[in-house]
């Protein structure tokens, strides 16, 4: 008898708990959203998107949040819509206990601006994806130009291995070489500060231009990047510092164990 009473009490408590939770949920769903809090994480000093841009995008897509009940607000659909903005890497949309909608956005991080051979501009981000250029903002980044035939395609993925035939094809493109070279440069404070232009010549080879000096650095392909930059650094320290930064017109570091220079 005592055991039956205890079980009955527990059943009543559980039913009561679920009733309270159900009532609280219904009450929460009936709340009207009076505030939308948008937080954007930029990861860099580049601002391709603002809170105003997000609100304008919602208006364009006829996504109503302010003034709508929480039952009318589909957070998953809003997240999916936000991923339609090319410069957004991640989006998280949720409601809080006060009935407000909170939106957390992470902007993609561009690392190099590309002008292809048709003079079409776009960016490559740190994940190897292409980003469109912005009419409202221009990032201060190294520029890649020259014989680059690839048009902007948001589906392009450059961060690949050589595990598949498709990857092998991508790895032969100028965009892949630009991406890998920029990744390498960004890891070194000195070269990140020095290199301002990556040029693909008509032979498909890489030429570099620096912020200091007026030389063309013939880099070749992206093989042995560490060795090539080490050679160049040694030449800067022992050669240009001794003879002057204006003595040579070209510095060729594409050959193993060699630095070949031509005078002005």
pLDDT, position 213: 77
All CATH 3.40.50.11690 domain ranges of the chain, comma separated, are: 110-263
- At residue 124, does pLDDT exceed 80? yes
pLDDT, position 58: 92
- Tokens representing 17 are 């708990």
- At residue 244, does pLDDT exceed 80? no
User: What percent of the chain clears pLDDT 90, i.e. is strictly above it?
Assistant: 53
pLDDT, position 243: 64
Q: How far apart are CA 131 and CA 117, in angstroms?
A: 17
pLDDT, position 134: 86
- At residue 165, does pLDDT exceed 70? no
Residue 248, judged by CB atoms within 10 A of its CB (0-12, 13-18, 19+), counts as buried
All CATH 3.10.20.310 domain ranges of the chain, comma separated, are: 36-107
DSSP three-state, residue 106: strand
pLDDT, position 24: 42
- DSSP-derived letter for residue 152 is P
User: What percent of the chain clears pLDDT 70, i.e. is strictly above it?
Assistant: 83
Residue range 157-162: average pLDDT?
A: 84
Kindly indicate whether the domain formed by 36-107 is annotated with CATH number 3.50.50.60.
no
Model confidence at 94, pLDDT cuts 50, 70, 90, reads confident
Cβ atoms of residues 103 and 92 within 8 Å: yes
Task: Give the residue from 152, 155, 107 showing the smallest Cα distance to 132.
Answer: 152
Conformation bin of residue 123: beta by default, left when phi > 0, alpha when psi is -120 to 50: beta
pLDDT, position 264: 63
CATH class for domain 110-263? Answer: alpha beta
């Amino acid at each position: 008898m005592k055991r039956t009473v205890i079980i009955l009490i527990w059943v009543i408590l559980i039913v009561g708990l679920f009733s309270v939770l159900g009532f609280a949920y219904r009450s929460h769903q009936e709340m009207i959203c009076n505030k939308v809090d948008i937080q954007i994480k930029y990861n860099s000093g580049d601002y391709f998107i603002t809170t105003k841009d997000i609100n304008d995008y919602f208006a364009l897509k006829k996504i109503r949040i302010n003034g709508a009940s929480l039952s009318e607000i589909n957070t998953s659909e809003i997240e999916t819509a936000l991923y339609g903005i090319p410069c957004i890497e991640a989006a998280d949309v949720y409601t809080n206990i006060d009935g407000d909608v909170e939106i957390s956005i992470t902007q993609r991080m561009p690392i190099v601006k590309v002008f292809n051979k048709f003079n079409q501009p776009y960016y490559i981000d740190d994940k190897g994806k292409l980003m469109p250029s912005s009419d409202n903002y221009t990032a201060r980044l190294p520029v890649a130009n020259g014989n680059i035939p690839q048009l902007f395609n948001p589906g392009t993925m450059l961060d690949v291995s050589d595990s598949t035939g498709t990857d092998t094809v991508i790895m032969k493109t100028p965009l892949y070489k630009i991406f890998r070279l920029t990744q390498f440069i960004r890891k070194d404070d000195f070269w990140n500060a020095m290199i301002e232009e990556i040029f693909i010549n008509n032979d498909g080879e890489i030429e570099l231009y620096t912020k200091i000096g007026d030389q063309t650095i013939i880099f070749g392909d992206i093989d042995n990047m560490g060795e090539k930059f080490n050679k160049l650094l040694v030449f800067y320290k022992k050669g240009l510092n001794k003879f002057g930064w204006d003595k040579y017109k070209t510095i060729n570091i594409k050959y193993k164990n060699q630095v070949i220079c031509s005078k002005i």
